Amino acid sequence: MPYVMTYTKKGPDAYSELNDSMHLALSSDGKEYLPLRHDTGVFFAEADFKDGGMAGRTKTLTDPWIFRFQDNTWGILAVRRNRGSQPDNQKQGCIMVYRWGKREGYSFLAFLKVSDDEVRHPACIYDQDEKCYRLEWEQAGEWFSGQTMDFSEIFKVKKDQRKIQPGIPSDRNLIRDAIPSNVMEITEEEENYLRALFEIPVLEKVLVKDCRLNWGDALEESSLPKAEGIYSDGSSREIPVDWDLHEIEKSYPKCTGTYKIKGRLRQIDYPAPFTPRTGDPFIIRYHGRYLMTWSGGREVTIRAADTLEGLHFAEPKVIYRIPEDQPEAGNMWAPEFHEIQGVLYLFTTVGKQGLWYTVQSCVLRCKGNPEKPEDWEEPMFCVKKDGSMLNDKGITLDMTCFSLENTYYAVWSHRDLDKEHYTVNSFGTNGDARLCIATIDPENPWKLTSDPACICRPKYGWDRIENEINEGAYLLEHGEDLFMTFSGSSVGIQYCVGLLHAKKGSALLEPSSWKELPYPVLTKECVPGQYGPGHNCFIKSPDGKGEDLMVFHAKEFDFDDPEHEDIMLAKNPRNTYIRRVHWNIFGYPVLDMQPWQDIPEFLKEVQGTITFVKDEK
């Protein structure tokens, strides 16, 4: 039988937000365990926004315990802590209780109060004889037990012997720095669910569908044999094939009978890095040309080419520069091109050079050729529907734009600041950077037409490292699903990508329409040599197959120097990468699939047949 193990990680207190979260590992024999999700956390405690300052207080968890409810669904117990594994006085003596449903994800049930003192190592089983749940926990070095019917209250609390065993394997060194909590036996179906949810799909087989052609039919790619790739999680996709048609072309168009042909699966694989020193990258295809831009200072710089690959070789050129009569202005960060009703706009920021706490979102309109500096108008600062400043209490940045059903939306990072302290570059007393959404006027896209609504704020440990930040949002459509990626934490090696999900037709200005995945979907552990991945956009593959490509930045080296950001960016710059997006069996995007997982070398060569028949019409 397979088994699942919960654990946390040892490590420095500086990253306790990541270590003090629930990790999972699987075993087929209960002895050797392999970590899921790149040995990173999959369940985090939520921040308490009533505790602490404007950004709330980061919370962590310890001693996660997985168990089964009476109905056989999964439950999770844990003890909430403060950053650095310090006691949480707000919930002292409480055990966090969550339900984990395959469709619903994690849902909070209760903070079950079991003591007035600090507790550790909660454990739980359903007692069939007593028709209730038996809980055990450690308190001041002694074990206690109690019973509960529905986790709303505890009764029959007493000092007791430990009876619920965690089932931890004797070899504690199976996973580096792991602190095991407990083991639960699961079914093969549940094991497959966990693997599909947390492991990267790998191509396992290729099915080729042969074709029949009439005499004289054109040998076009659309009419040739098709290859379907089947991945380890059960997902599939059509994979383009470069077929060798040499033998057929010898007698074409007078071909008769059946021909066996060989081919090679075509893989989307761009140079890594794609472009150096291009943080916050953005690419768009506009009027047959590819335009790429990235964060700058007093200017907006682009690369332009006829092909996506051509951007790799294109020379940078400036298309807009802040006028000389504004010598203090700068910080033109995260520029994005968006075509709105046939007009191209550039969304970016302007602030005082070197002063992060002054940036505000703005929009530039193009009146002609976007590659010509003279065709760009001056920036218009974004305003609310009443014409007032978008945020007069802080900053706005990383604005993006999308349209659905003829309605245009803007999403941006919105952060209130402690005005008494932020001018000295203090981070500790400021608010958190959250994602806001509003509708905009398509003729004047710097103007909101609705009140802003907050749809996401940094509440987990992974998006509150060094700074509480959600930024760099971008929309990805897939069928009836809307996914919005965003970046969390400070712009260093712990920078990562989170994910929101909504449905088309839902009220997108309502925060309840957006559901956040509780763990990051792209981190520095995902792909070797790509640290602090984030701030991405998406484009379609140039081959017309409709594949989604993710454009993002990452660092090459695993080091940070938060105290000297300019030196850090010079020594460990943010480079741009491009990667194909895979859609897993649940219909969610996989952003960390590597080429060897996408199409292993031993599966690249394929064979098919073409049968030529007389046109019976």
- pLDDT per residue as tens digits for the range 75-97: 999 999 999 889 999 999 999 99
C-alpha separations of 150 from 12, 126, 132 in Å:
37, 11, 8
Task: State how far the Cα of 495 lies from the Cα of 208, in Å rounded to an integer.
Answer: 41
* pLDDT recorded at residue 425: 46
Q: Would you say residue 399 has pLDDT above 80?
A: yes
Which two tokens mark 161? 């012997």
Q: Please enumerate in sequence order all residues whose Cβ is within 8 A of that of 222, keeping only pairs 6 or more positions apart, or say none.
A: none
Domains and CATH numbers, the chain: 3-198 (no CATH), 203-267+601-613 (2.60.40), 282-598 (2.115.10.20)
The burial of 563, by beta-carbon neighbours within 10 Å (0-12 exposed, 13-18 middle, 19 or more buried), is given as exposed
Q: Give the mean pLDDT of the chain.
A: 94
Composition of the chain by helix, strand, coil, percent to 5? 10, 45, 40
Q: Would you say residue 14 has pLDDT above 90?
A: no
Q: Would you say residue 348 has pLDDT above 60?
A: yes
Which two tokens mark 583? 């859609």
* pLDDT recorded at residue 99: 97
Point out the least confidently predicted range of 406-410, 422-426, 526-530.
Answer: 422-426
Q: Would you say residue 579 has pLDDT above 90?
A: yes
What number of other Cβ atoms are within 10 A of residue 258's Cβ?
Answer: 12
The pLDDT of 530-540, averaged and rounded, is: 98
Q: Would you say residue 567 has pLDDT above 80?
A: no
Give 379's pLDDT tier (boundaries 50, 70, 90): very high
* pLDDT recorded at residue 568: 65
The pLDDT of 493-520, averaged and rounded, is: 98
- 30 vs 540, residue with greater confidence: 540
Strand, coil or helix: what is 495? coil
- pLDDT per residue as tens digits for the range 429-482: 799 999 999 999 999 999 999 999 999 999 999 999 989 999 999 999 999 999
Give 102's pLDDT tier (boundaries 50, 70, 90): confident
Task: State how far the Cα of 495 lies from the Cα of 489, in Å rounded to an integer.
Answer: 5
* pLDDT recorded at residue 561: 64
- pLDDT per residue as tens digits for the range 139-186: 999 999 999 999 999 999 999 999 999 999 877 557 999 999 999 999
Task: State how far the Cα of 535 lies from the Cα of 456, in Å rounded to an integer.
Answer: 16
Task: State how far the Cα of 373 lies from the Cα of 322, in Å rounded to an integer.
Answer: 11
Task: State how far the Cα of 565 lies from the Cα of 279, in Å rounded to an integer.
Answer: 14
Question: Which three-class secondary structure string do you get for 98-162?
Answer: EEEECCCEEEEEEEEECCCCCCEEEEEEEECCCCEEEEEEEECCEEEEEEECCCCCCEEEEECCC
The pLDDT of 526-539, averaged and rounded, is: 97
* pLDDT recorded at residue 255: 79
* pLDDT recorded at residue 569: 67
For 89, phi and psi rounded to 5 degrees?
A: -65, -20
Task: State how far the Cα of 123 lies from the Cα of 304, in Å rounded to an integer.
Answer: 59
Task: State how far the Cα of 373 lies from the Cα of 248, in Å rounded to an integer.
Answer: 51
Four-residue CA torsion sign, 544, 548, 553, 559: negative
Half-sphere exposure (Cβ direction) of 595: Cα atoms closer than 13 Å: 13
* pLDDT recorded at residue 426: 47
- pLDDT per residue as tens digits for the range 315-343: 999 999 999 999 999 999 999 999 999 99
Considering the entire predicted model, what is its pTM? Answer: 0.95
Task: State how far the Cα of 520 lies from the Cα of 112, in Å rounded to an integer.
Answer: 28
Amino acid, res. 61: L
The share of the chain scoring above pLDDT 70, in percent, equals 96
Half-sphere exposure (Cβ direction) of 185: Cα atoms closer than 13 Å: 5
Q: How is residue 175 annotated by DSSP?
A: S
- pLDDT per residue as tens digits for the range 211-260: 998 877 888 888 999 999 999 999 999 999 999 998 888 777 777 789 99
- pLDDT per residue as tens digits for the range 299-315: 999 999 999 999 999 99
